[in-house]
Amino acid sequence: MSQPLSELAQLVGAAVDGDGSVRVSHVATLESAGPGSIAFLARAKYRKQLATTGAAAVILAPAMAAETPLPKLVSKNPYATYAKVATILHPAQIAEPGCHPTALVDPGARVAPSASVGPRAIVGSGTIVGERARIGAGSIVGAGVAIGDDVLLHANVTIYDRTVIGPRTIVHSGAVIGADGFGMAEEAGRWIKIPQIGRVVIGADVEIGANTTIDRGAIEDTVIESDVKLDNLVQIGHNCQIGAHTAIAGCVGIAGSTRIGRNCLIGGAAMINGHIEICDGVVIDGAAMVRRSIGAPGEYAGLDPALPGKQWRRIVAIINHLPELEKRIHRLEAAAGTAPQDAAADRPEEAP
């Protein structure tokens, strides 16, 4: 269904510049946009595409409003405004309330009348499913679980016993929440399994990506605070705590008993050691190795150990110039007559 630009502006809190009666029905990129679409410009490097876009309207910042005659929504945060517009023009499909005939819902579970349980899904004893919550096909929800209002579990999600999931949280397919943490004690050359008796407690408005795993606590709970965003294939060990509004990209591994503060950003494939603390407002670059606690906000990068971003980039620049520096040192030593006679023999062979 198409909407006039002026109505969208009121809904998303943006200003209209140009013909507010123009109707748009879907979002698109500047490059691929056609009739009836609305595109957005959030980065200056794409501004050249404004001149050639086929969009009916665009979303952009006040500083760029004069660069196109197209009708537009003007916003200080064009990307966030685009997200709101896309949500309005492309609403999620609403599932019919009720339990599918093939779903297995324990008589001891309480499922709100407005909630839906999909085909072949399982809901355990004592579990509470909130209003308008949706449990996708094939998902398994254990016993004693609390699922808040408007939660969405996509197909084939596994929620272990006693997990708590806050309202409006989204869990994507293949995620496993509440499995045993990796707790073992060694005795006489054998491993003894340590019972994992804690829970996973997830706040409101969290999003958990496909095939992400969150282990329950060994004794105390694993806690994911509100508005945390986890990408696909993230591993969070037992007893971890992730602060509110932190975002973690794909393939990150976080070992047990680690505490990560609020408003942190963690790049893809970063590895974080266990039993450490990372304060609020930390940015960890992709593939960084964090072995020690971080007590000051800022950007951290590097493999071993993670260092402040500027320091790591300087180290990398020096490493890139090592062959040239080595030659200069040998020339200086030769000119001064101080070069060791076996210097060539000690020099490592160059890679082919």
CATH of the domain at 294: 2.160.10.10
Structural domain including 26 reads 3-89
Please tell me whether residues 349 and 225 are part of one structural domain.
no
- pLDDT score for 336: 87
- pLDDT score for 346: 52
Residue 251 counted as domain residue: yes
- Residue after which a domain boundary falls, among 89, 111, 126: 89
Please tell me whether residues 72 and 33 are part of one structural domain.
yes
CATH code for the domain in which residue 56 is found: 3.40.1390.10
Please tell me whether residues 327 and 263 are part of one structural domain.
no
Please tell me whether residues 189 and 75 are part of one structural domain.
no
Please tell me whether residues 195 and 71 are part of one structural domain.
no
Please tell me whether residues 269 and 327 are part of one structural domain.
no
Please tell me whether residues 306 and 325 are part of one structural domain.
no
Residue 46 counted as domain residue: yes
Residue 36 structure tokens: 């009836």
- pLDDT score for 342: 58
Q: Identify the active-site residue in 100, 172, 238, 275.
A: 238
Please tell me whether residues 277 and 328 are part of one structural domain.
no
Residue 238 annotated in active site: yes
Residue 31 counted as domain residue: yes
- pLDDT score for 349: 46
pTM for this entry: 0.87
Please tell me whether residues 268 and 200 are part of one structural domain.
yes
Examine residue 4 and say whether the peptide bond preceding it is cis (omega within 30 degrees of 0): no
**What's the one-letter identity of residue 346?**
D
Residue 263 counted as domain residue: yes
Q: For the chain, list residues with pLDDT below 50.
A: 345, 349-352
Please tell me whether residues 241 and 349 are part of one structural domain.
no
Question: How many independent structural domains does the chain possess?
Answer: 3
Residue 239 structure tokens: 């007893």
- Residue after which a domain boundary falls, among 65, 89, 113: 89
Sequence-distant (6+) residues with CB within 8 A of 340 are 333, 346
Residue 131 counted as domain residue: no
Please tell me whether residues 277 and 341 are part of one structural domain.
no
